[in-house]
């Protein structure tokens, strides 16, 4: 395609909205080209059929006139039999019409097969692109986007895009047919064809104005669907809280309101779209009647057009009008999916989302220390959560981080595996910037147990061995035993093969936490991050787990966020945080003797236990 034509085409509204779909075909060109070739073949043989129909009608209505000729002498003599009698010519043309119909049917079959195949590959590729996009973006993106809207885009919107592509394919095939019909009409009577196209052009302008309204309403439908999915997802995830606070009536109102908004937006879009097809049919039928009257009174009566040619022209015109209706109807449906396409296109954009810089070096091992060098961090750069954090975490030592709620403890720990990057300052591993290493190699040296444990809807064994394919049953058993999880696992109906349900809801909070600890222990990490990992355990289990963690800490670097100070008495260093800053740092005993913030926390917990 010449650059100038390509530049003009790229500025059209259609290409701006749907172009990113068609650009994906370069990844499976054979399927797309095959579908296009069979579609062209189908249209071509429909045209041959109409040409033979003209010959058939001429033989039927005016057998004494000069037989219909194509201009190819060998074809006219050997195939059409123009030198034979009228009856034989009629039989030959009838056979050719039948043959064209069956060949066209075969082309239609393969067109459908390859179109569906292209459709499935397109949707599969888009799903994969969405997955890679969600894997690549910074966690801060998920903090500001509603999960319900993401789920709506991944499921509903991609499904509607699948439908949109089917419509695009149908419109493409129909446009080929319309071009063929127009060419045949020009061949029969260029005057009538120009008048017809002019009238249909006026109809197209009128309908395009209506289509613009449908497009704006479709965006509102997609937005309403996203809000509804978010509301439903919150209800499902928070059903325990809803029932505990007896807020069913409140949630019912929220859910009904969100559902009503979807209905309201959909109704407005339907009203706008519903008027297009009836109006198009009415206008097209009017044009058809006008063309019949005009053809008979002007062209047939004065001998400009033969009766057979007029019948063929009208037959093609009768076929043309439904095809135009179908194209217009499909355009309306396609426009109604434009909101979904826009949402998907926005999700796949890369220029408006935060990404972590991916280094090119492999992180092999921690030899000396992890260092925070004057680190500032904020989810919003204008509102810092961490300020001037300077901290050294030596290899093989346990560093405990304590502080009140909102002090920034979890945020600080999240910077180590690079869930986020510092807003200012650096984090160094053995003196090298963390951003110079690949994320995979860095994170594979770590294991994390957080206070928000996630359990997958699969077996106990698969949850413990998550991400590790070569673990033996004995290794999994030992990890469960070290995490004090073995006893309750053996009491489950199918023990290690027991499927735990969505988010592990079949287990108690303490059991889920112990499975997460077993998962971390099985990875045998160099760096172990514990974000209040024992907070959900009972006192007896906590003591057993603490003993296991102390044994496992030998030779490992452990960063632990502690709620119960009794679990960090033996830590090599304790870091006390308040309002995003480090206010104390040293050994547990040293900080107690200073009678600072740690001493205050210690005294409060001691008084609570005594009381």
Per-residue pLDDT tens over the stretch 308-352 = 677 777 777 777 777 776 776 667 666 666 777 777 777 777 777
What is the pLDDT at residue 214?
65
Residue 559 has pLDDT above 50, yes or no: yes
The residue extents of the domains of the chain are 13-348, 398-420+434-610
What is the pLDDT at residue 268?
76
CA dist list (Å): 527 to 42, 267, 348, 442, 521: 64, 56, 34, 10, 11
What is the pLDDT at residue 66?
61
CA dist list (Å): 421 to 140, 355, 412: 10, 10, 10
Residue 83 has pLDDT above 70, yes or no: no
pLDDT, tens digit, 9 for 90 and up, residues 234-261: 676 666 566 655 667 777 887 888 888 8
Residue 72 has pLDDT above 70, yes or no: no
Q: Is 438 helix (H, G, I), strand (E, B) or coil?
A: coil
Q: ∠ at Cα 483 (478, 489), nearest 5°?
A: 75
- Max mean pLDDT among 85-94, 173-182, 367-376, 600-609 falls in 367-376
- Architecture, CATH, for domain 13-348: Up-down Bundle (1.20)
Q: What percent of the chain has pLDDT over 70?
A: 75
User: Which residues have a Cβ under 8 Å from the Cβ of 29 and sit 6 or more positions away?
Assistant: none
What the block records as the tokens of 358 is 């991916």
- Taking Cα atoms as reference points, which of 519, 443, 419 lies closest to residue 475? 519
Residue 361 has pLDDT above 80, yes or no: yes
Name residue 585's beta-bridge partners. Answer: 575
- Give the whole-angstrom CA distance, residue 164 versus residue 170: 10
Please indicate whether the domains covering 13-348 and 398-420+434-610 agree at the CATH topology level. Answer: no
What is the pLDDT at residue 9?
47
Looking at residues 9-16, what average pLDDT do you find? 57
Helix, strand and coil percent figures for the chain, each rounded to 5: 65, 10, 25
| Host H or E run for residue 113 | helix 86-136
- Give the whole-angstrom CA distance, residue 83 versus residue 61: 18
User: Which residues have a Cβ under 8 Å from the Cβ of 526 and sit 6 or more positions away?
Assistant: 365, 366, 445, 446, 556, 557
CA dist list (Å): 347 to 25, 142, 333, 351, 510: 19, 12, 22, 11, 37
Do 431 and 605 contact (CB within 8 A), yes or no? no
Residue 365 has pLDDT above 60, yes or no: yes
Residue 271 has pLDDT above 90, yes or no: no
Lowest mean per-residue pLDDT among 67-71, 393-397, 495-499, 517-521: 67-71
Looking at residues 401-426, what average pLDDT do you find? 89
Looking at residues 70-77, what average pLDDT do you find? 60
CA 142 remoteness from chain centre: 14
Looking at residues 488-508, what average pLDDT do you find? 79
In the chain, the N- to C-terminal Cα span, in Å, equals 83
pLDDT, tens digit, 9 for 90 and up, residues 102-159: 888 898 899 888 888 888 888 888 888 888 888 888 777 777 777 777 777 777 777 7
What is the band of 213 on the pLDDT scale with cuts at 50, 70, 90?
Answer: low
- Average pLDDT score, the chain: 77
What is the pLDDT at residue 122?
81
What is the band of 211 on the pLDDT scale with cuts at 50, 70, 90?
Answer: low
Residue 5 has pLDDT above 80, yes or no: no
What is the pLDDT at residue 7?
53
What is the band of 231 on the pLDDT scale with cuts at 50, 70, 90?
Answer: confident
User: Which residues have a Cβ under 8 Å from the Cβ of 487 and sit 6 or more positions away?
Assistant: none
- Architecture, CATH, for domain 398-420+434-610: 3-Layer(aba) Sandwich (3.40)
Q: ∠ at Cα 422 (421, 423), nearest 5°?
A: 115
- Max mean pLDDT among 34-43, 415-424, 499-508 falls in 415-424
């Amino acid at each position: 395609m010449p650059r100038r034509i390509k530049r003009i085409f790229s500025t059209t509204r259609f290409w701006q909205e749907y172009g990113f779909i068609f650009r994906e075909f370069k990844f499976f060109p054979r399927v797309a080209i095959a579908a296009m070739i069979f579609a062209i073949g189908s249209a071509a043989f429909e045209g041959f059929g109409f040409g033979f129909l003209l010959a058939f009608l001429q033989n039927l209505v005016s057998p004494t006139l000069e037989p219909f000729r194509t201009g190819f002498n060998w074809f006219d003599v050997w195939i059409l039999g123009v030198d034979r009698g009228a009856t034989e010519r009629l039989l030959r043309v009838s056979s050719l019409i039948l043959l064209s119909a069956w060949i066209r049917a075969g082309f239609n079959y393969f067109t459908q097969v390859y179109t569906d195949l292209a459709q499935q590959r397109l949707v599969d590729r888009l799903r994969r692109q969405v997955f890679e996009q969600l894997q690549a973006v910074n966690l801060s993106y998920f903090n500001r986007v509603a999960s319900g809207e993401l789920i709506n885009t991944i499921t509903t919107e991609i499904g509607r895009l699948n439908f949109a592509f089917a419509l695009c394919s149908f419109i493409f095939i129909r446009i080929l047919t319309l071009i063929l019909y127009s060419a045949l009409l020009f061949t029969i009577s260029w005057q009538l064809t120009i008048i017809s196209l002019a009238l249909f052009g006026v109809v197209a302008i009128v309908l395009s104005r209506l289509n613009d309204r449908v497009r704006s309403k479709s965006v509102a439908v997609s937005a309403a669907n996203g809000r509804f999915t978010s509301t439903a997802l919150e209800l499902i995830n928070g059903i325990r809280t809803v029932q505990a606070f007896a807020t069913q009536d409140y949630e019912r109102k929220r859910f009904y309101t969100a559902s009503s908004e979807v209905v309201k937006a959909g109704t407005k879009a339907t009203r706008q779209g519903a008027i297009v097809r009836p109006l198009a049919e009415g206008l097209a039928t009017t044009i058809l009647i006008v063309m019949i009257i005009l053809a008979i009174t002007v062209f047939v009566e004065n001998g400009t057009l033969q009766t057979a040619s007029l019948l063929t022209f009208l037959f093609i015109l009768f076929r043309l009008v439904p095809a135009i209706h179908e194209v217009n109807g499909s355009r309306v449906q396609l426009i109604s999916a434009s909101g979904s396409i826009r949402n998907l296109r926005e999700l796949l954009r890369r220029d408006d989302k935060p990404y972590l810089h991916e280094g090119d070096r492999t992180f092999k091992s921690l030899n000396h220390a992890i260092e925070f060098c004057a680190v500032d961090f904020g989810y919003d750069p204008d509102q810092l959560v961490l300020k001037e954090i300077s901290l050294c975490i030596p290899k093989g030592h346990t560093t405990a981080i304590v502080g009140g709620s909102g002090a920034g403890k979890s945020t600080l720990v999240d910077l180590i595996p690079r869930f986020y990057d510092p807003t200012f300052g650096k984090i160094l591993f053995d003196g090298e910037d963390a951003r110079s290493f690949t994320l995979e190699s860095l994170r594979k040296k770590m294991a994390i147990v957080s206070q928000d444990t996630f359990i997958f809807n699969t077996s106990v064994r698969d949850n413990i061995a998550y991400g590790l394919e070569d673990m033996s049953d004995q290794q999994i058993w030992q990890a469960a035993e070290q995490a004090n999880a073995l006893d309750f696992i053996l009491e489950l109906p199918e023990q290690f093969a027991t499927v735990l349900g969505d988010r592990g809801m079949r287990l108690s909070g303490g059991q889920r936490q112990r499975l997460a600890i077993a998962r971390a222990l099985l990875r045998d990490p160099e760096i172990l991050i514990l974000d209040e990992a024992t907070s959900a355990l009972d006192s007896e289990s906590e003591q057993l787990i603490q003993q296991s963690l102390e044994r496992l800490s030998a030779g490992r670097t452990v960063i632990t966020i502690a709620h119960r100070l009794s679990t960090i008495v033996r830590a090599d260093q304790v870091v006390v945080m308040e309002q995003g800053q480090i206010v104390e740092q040293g050994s547990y005993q040293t900080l107690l003797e200073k009678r600072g913030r740690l001493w205050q926390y210690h005294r409060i917990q001691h008084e609570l236990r005594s009381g």
